[in-house]
Chains A and B, each alone.
Chain A
Amino acid sequence: MAKATAVQAWSGSSRVRALTRDPLGLLAIVFVVGCLAVFVIFPVVRVLAQPGLTEWWRLFTDPRWLRLGGNTFLIAVLSTASAVALGFLFAYATSRPDVPLRHLFKLVAILPLVSPPFVGGLAFILLFGRRGLVTYSLLGLSGDIYGWHGLWMVQTLAFFPIAYLSLAGVLRRINPTLEYAAQDLGVHGLRLFCTVTLPLATPGLASAALLVGIYALSDFGNPMLVGGAFKVLATETYTQITGWGDIGMAAALSAALLLPSLVLFVLQRYWVEGRSYATITGKGSFADPPPMSPAVRWVVFTACSLVALVLLATYAVVFVGAFARTWGVNWRPTLENFEYTVFRGSQLWNSIRFAGTAALGGSFFAVIAAFLVHRKRFPGRAAVDFAAVLPAALPGTLIGVGYILAFNTPPLALTGTGAIIVAAMLFRTIPVGYQAAVAGLAQIAPSIEEGAADLGARPLRTFWDVTLPLIRSAFTSALIFTFIRSMNTLSAVVFLISPGNVVASASILALAEHGDWGQASAMAASLMSAVFLLLLAFRLITGGRLRLFEL
């Protein structure tokens, strides 16, 4: 017995020794753990600690807050269901070689992912609002259309690409031979779809639904723009701070979103993911799946075309609105809307430099964190792994409120600076880069790194010479994803902006709230154009080698 414990002490100390002989690695671990503790865990703890008993009590008893919770839940369920259905339609259509225009559909489905999620809300107002193109100019109606119907439609269009992206990956990895095998056994058409294709995609559907659910629950921009009297937890959090200055209640409301969001996240990450039927093999591409019957093909094609048209229309409306003198009244083209917002304002430039800094810093941080967690052995690895993916489950409003609470006082008094916005963007998008880096690392056999060490390369040298070049593509795609998301993010940064540090997304919201539709559209059009141009430039620089969004 004594011998066994002695041996265990030995092996424990050998692990510690392995760390001490790699001081740089130890330093990196301390740095990563420290950053995640301060910028991810601490703000959450601050939010949970802020509300007093009365606020918690009110949250669970006051009918007003209960109704808010009901609203949030209702719209999240509706939007998730319709977004997943649309996402599956697009994923299915684009996975079939016999659907016309499938590459166009792929492209269209990507649009909402690279543009701010609330652009749909803005377009909805321009089309159906009090001075809306359809409602006022064409039909002569005037009235209040703000509410849950519009929000549902807008969120469906905003979030179906998330489901599409997740499901496209799932459908692509299902071996088409299975469908041929089913046909061979005498099944075809709807029966085949219901007995083979759909069951195989079910874990993927569940995963996509949970993912979309997280976005829908915590969506802030769209309910703000088109929700009207239909309020949800995220928007009310903002109102409590800006309208009433009640940070305690704001913290309680944003905390109320945390639990459901966390449940969805944990289900998605640890339960559904392990249940996938999709296979990842080293083999090249499979054969094409069997052709669909003409009737099905045309139904699918028409449905996709319709959605694509609506989606394109929303973007067209925003761009037209940017150049119209006064929307709904005076259609003469003008550049006036750009004058104060884009040409003289610094908001767009702020967005670019903050998002750029966050993307660069965040991608390096993510790669280092992924490397440490998956290549080094140290106590608390699992906790670091969880902290690195946790921000994906944190509602933006919670991060916003958390940062206000956490960084208002020394030693880390960041409120009012650009740094707090960069930090929020950076740590909000960490999971994207982290998971890309983890996937990249999984492709590298550990023996390749051991090979370098074996030939005399010290740990940092191995990381620099071997690991980093081999995960370069994961790194660059992480860089782009985080940049785009940071450019478009609204819910967290809207709490953190200060004069001189206003970013484009927050400015669009403010302008739209004031009814400055033209200027809001100009800003939105500029923001989207900036993202598209930077994406294009990047694609040209990398010679189009980089695959983004399944394209």
Chain B
Amino acid sequence: MSMDNTTAHVRIDGVVKRFGGTEAVAGVSLDIGRGSLTTVLGPSGCGKTTLLRLIAGFVEPDAGDILIDGVSQRGLPPYLRKTSTVFQEYALFPHMTVFDNVAYGLRLRGLSRTALTEKVRHTLSLMQLEGLEARYPRELSGGQQQRVALARSLIVEPEVLLMDEPLSNLDAKLRVSVREEIREIQRRVGITTLYVTHDQEEALAISDTIAVMQGGKVMQVGTPRAIYEQPADPFVAAFVGQVNLLRAKIEGGSLRLGSLLLPLPANTPVLESGEEVILALRPEAIRIGAGSAGSEVQGEVVSRTYLGTTVRYRIAVAGQHLTVDDPDPAGRPLLTGVLTLSFDPSRLHLWPAGSDAPLSHQDSL
């Protein structure tokens, strides 16, 4: 999963940050490719925002180093780093107009008046903010404030753009359109971007690379496809997308799930007979109806939820619950009783149990 050294623009090398007794960032190493959009994805409190603040220079690491273009950033205050941050709550200067907010970074760099005006106008038009120059932040909509914050950061032409949950203050519909806008601009400008979010859908939609964090550690780094289709552990599988996590046991070359005996998928790691495993299966990998031999199970409907485009069933299989979607329920009555389910064995993942498997997630699915 490691990236080619020559293309790493930002290198995070064994960084540790403690607050009091807790390790917010517990030894993180991560390479961020030049011009890429890398997302740090994780639940709240996983240390992702701290990681971003470490790169921006708002906090200093207790151990490890951060290199930009191979240059150590240790001891460099934020105002000397070539990074720029878009804050979760935007942090626009409330006493300055849109123009002055965007121009602030340039003023500090002592640009001439005409060059400054020219550049601000250009950036504002890039962000579709023309006509709002004289407004104050409080007179703007959430989406507009978001764009001003992005404009304010981009105008100083930082080497690295840092975005801390930039969409969390927008309503759900706007979030989708703004994230596409951000991705579009990021591609056009070609700026190396680190994007922090807790929203897995957002991460899947806009990233070149995703780093999934949990408990101050990076659990997996990869493309969105790799993260979703080949999760490294039960946590990643459960956090990114919907998943069924089941307990099972290895029996020779088979998988024992309650009273069921299933053949082991071909791509599984070598496991000893009798070992407990956790098994992950995404709802869309399960079909209601008969399939090929060895990939069928019987189950009884426990509950169902009508969601419009799909019907989501909870089905009891061998004493555990499975979530299964019926993708095209139109015109059919809702199903009850005992069903036959079939699944694609190549999309089944399993890991040895007992580590720190978050089986509690199962009920929240």
Which residues in A have some Cβ–Cβ distance to B below 8 Å? 7, 10-11, 14, 17-18, 21-22, 445, 447-448, 450-458, 461, 465-466, 469-470
Are B85 and A450 neighbours in the complex by a CB distance under 8 Å?
yes
Are B94 and A454 neighbours in the complex by a CB distance under 8 Å?
no
Are A455 and B108 neighbours in the complex by a CB distance under 8 Å?
yes
4 A-B pairs closest in CB distance: A455-B105, A447-B91, A451-B91, A453-B78
Shortest Cβ distance from B18 into A: residue: A11
Interface-side segment among B58-66, B198-206, B251-259, B346-354: B58-66
Q: Which residues of A contact B83 (CB under 8 A)?
A: 454
Cα–Cα, bound, A207→B168 (Å): 39
Are B62 and A7 neighbours in the complex by a CB distance under 8 Å?
yes
In the assembled complex, the CB of B248 is this many whole angstroms from the nearest CB of chain A, namely 40
Having A447-B88, A454-B56, A465-B93, one finds 16 other A-B pairs with CB under 8 Å, namely A18-B77, A22-B77, A445-B91, A448-B94, A450-B91, A451-B85, A451-B87, A451-B91, A451-B92, A451-B152, A454-B79, A454-B85, A455-B104, A455-B152, A456-B79, A469-B95
B37 interfacial by beta-carbon distance below 8 Å = no
B294 interfacial by beta-carbon distance below 8 Å = no
Q: Which residues of A contact B156 (CB under 8 A)?
A: 455-456
Are A450 and B108 neighbours in the complex by a CB distance under 8 Å?
no
Q: Which residues of A contact B94 (CB under 8 A)?
A: 448, 470
In the assembled complex, the CB of B60 is this many whole angstroms from the nearest CB of chain A, namely 5
Are B62 and A11 neighbours in the complex by a CB distance under 8 Å?
yes
Are A445 and B79 neighbours in the complex by a CB distance under 8 Å?
no
B109 interfacial by beta-carbon distance below 8 Å = yes
In the assembled complex, the CB of A59 is this many whole angstroms from the nearest CB of chain B, namely 46
Are A450 and B58 neighbours in the complex by a CB distance under 8 Å?
yes
Cα–Cα, bound, A469→B104 (Å): 15
Question: Which residues of chain B from 55 to 91 have a CB within 8 Å of any chain A CB?
Answer: 56, 58, 60, 62-63, 75, 77-80, 83-85, 87-89, 91
Q: Which of A448, A455, A457, A458 has the most CB of B within 10 A?
A: A455
Q: Which residues of B contact A21 (CB under 8 A)?
A: 75, 77
Are A453 and B79 neighbours in the complex by a CB distance under 8 Å?
yes
Are A466 and B79 neighbours in the complex by a CB distance under 8 Å?
no
Provide a sorted-by-A list of 19 A–B residue pairs whose CB atoms are within 8 angstroms.
Answer: A7-B16, A10-B62, A17-B75, A18-B77, A21-B75, A21-B77, A22-B77, A448-B92, A450-B85, A451-B85, A451-B87, A451-B92, A452-B104, A454-B78, A454-B153, A455-B108, A455-B152, A456-B156, A457-B108
Shortest Cβ distance from B53 into A: residue: A450
A447-B87, A451-B93, A470-B94 as given contacts; A457 in contact with B60, CB under 8 Å: no
Shortest Cβ distance from B83 into A: residue: A454
In the assembled complex, the CB of B73 is this many whole angstroms from the nearest CB of chain A, namely 13
Are A455 and B84 neighbours in the complex by a CB distance under 8 Å?
yes
A452-B104, A455-B152 as given contacts; A18 in contact with B60, CB under 8 Å: yes
Q: Which residues of A contact B88 (CB under 8 A)?
A: 447
Are B93 and A466 neighbours in the complex by a CB distance under 8 Å?
yes
A10-B62, A17-B75, A455-B84 as given contacts; A445 in contact with B89, CB under 8 Å: yes
Q: Which residues of B contact A450 (CB under 8 A)?
A: 56, 58, 78, 85, 87, 91
Q: Which residues of B contact A458 (CB under 8 A)?
A: 79
Q: Which of B58, B88, B93, B156 has the most CB of A within 10 A?
A: B93
In the assembled complex, the CB of A19 is this many whole angstroms from the nearest CB of chain B, namely 12
Are B63 and A10 neighbours in the complex by a CB distance under 8 Å?
yes
Are A453 and B95 neighbours in the complex by a CB distance under 8 Å?
no
Question: Which residues of chain B from 130 to 165 have a CB within 8 Å of any chain A CB?
Answer: 152-153, 156
Q: Which residues of B contact A11 (CB under 8 A)?
A: 18, 62
Are B77 and A448 neighbours in the complex by a CB distance under 8 Å?
no
Q: Which residues of B contact A447 (CB under 8 A)?
A: 87-89, 91
Shortest Cβ distance from A470 into B: residue: B95
Q: Which residues of A contact B105 (CB under 8 A)?
A: 455-456
Q: Which residues of B contact A14 (CB under 8 A)?
A: 60, 62
In the assembled complex, the CB of A441 is this many whole angstroms from the nearest CB of chain B, namely 14
Shortest Cβ distance from B17 into A: residue: A11
Q: Which of A17, A445, A452, A456 has the most CB of B within 10 A?
A: A456
Cα–Cα, bound, A466→B100 (Å): 12
A7-B62, A455-B84 as given contacts; A448 in contact with B79, CB under 8 Å: no
Q: Which residues of B contact A457 (CB under 8 A)?
A: 79, 104, 108
Cα–Cα, bound, A22→B78 (Å): 12
Q: Which of B85, B88, B109 has the most CB of A within 10 A?
A: B85
In the assembled complex, the CB of A227 is this many whole angstroms from the nearest CB of chain B, namely 51
Cα–Cα, bound, A15→B194 (Å): 26
Q: Which residues of B contact A454 (CB under 8 A)?
A: 56, 58, 78-79, 83-85, 153
Q: Which of A445, A451, A461 has the most CB of B within 10 A?
A: A451
Cα–Cα, bound, A17→B74 (Å): 11
Shortest Cβ distance from A10 into B: residue: B62
Cα–Cα, bound, A457→B80 (Å): 9
Cα–Cα, bound, A406→B105 (Å): 49
Contact of A453 among B16, B75, B77, B93 (CB under 8 A): B77
In the assembled complex, the CB of B107 is this many whole angstroms from the nearest CB of chain A, namely 9
Q: Which residues of B contact A18 (CB under 8 A)?
A: 60, 77
Are A7 and B63 neighbours in the complex by a CB distance under 8 Å?
yes
Are A461 and B108 neighbours in the complex by a CB distance under 8 Å?
yes
Cα–Cα, bound, A231→B287 (Å): 94
Q: Which residues of B contact A456 (CB under 8 A)?
A: 79-80, 105, 108-109, 156
Q: Which residues of B contact A461 (CB under 8 A)?
A: 108
In the assembled complex, the CB of B276 is this many whole angstroms from the nearest CB of chain A, namely 34
Cα–Cα, bound, A447→B52 (Å): 13
Cα–Cα, bound, A437→B100 (Å): 25
